[in-house]
Structure 1
Amino acid sequence: MKPLCKILSTTALLGFSFIAVAKDSSLKNTILVPKGNGEYVRVSSTTINRPNVKNAVDICWEDPLKGPSCFNGDTREVYPNPEKTKKSD
């Protein structure tokens, strides 16, 4: 059976769960985020350029449990999305 999508980028360890970055014509820029009960939610992803690092791009998404999140491909860490968590004055 042909897989539905190819895992192109990376898999990040999030506690006991993981996210999978999938890219396919029907699932373009989709992130599979674990719900914690063995099920996953498909969410759309974006990218941001990491400040002060040349050619560094992080993958970001709206995590249904943790809010706006990003994945740093170099350190393999997940952090809050700074563009979505900025507070307006």
Structure 2
Amino acid sequence: MSFHSQDENFGNQTLEDSSEYERMIQMTFSSEEDGYEFFNSFTRHKGFSVRKGKVRRSSNGGDITCRHFFCFKQGTRQPMFLKNMANKKRGHEH
């Protein structure tokens, strides 16, 4: 299972940053949660955090084969995720 980070502004990075970036995007983790915890810890050390993005699943059972992480401020969330979040919040009110 691989988890990837995507950075559209990577062209402005130093050589040291580019080497670190190349190592980071090739990393493999035993679970999605392990990958998320690693990237969130790493990015918090750099001054920001990540959010989960696109996911790819295997055709033989739905196992996650790839997960993208994005800067928490990058772009906007897709409407279907916003709707799901709103439903979860309302579900606790009785």
Instruction: Output the TM-score relative to the length of structure 2.
Output: 0.28
Relative contact order, CA 8 A, sep 6+: which one is greater? 2
Would you tell me which structure has more strand in proportion to its own residues? 1
Would you tell me which structure has more helix in proportion to its own residues? 2
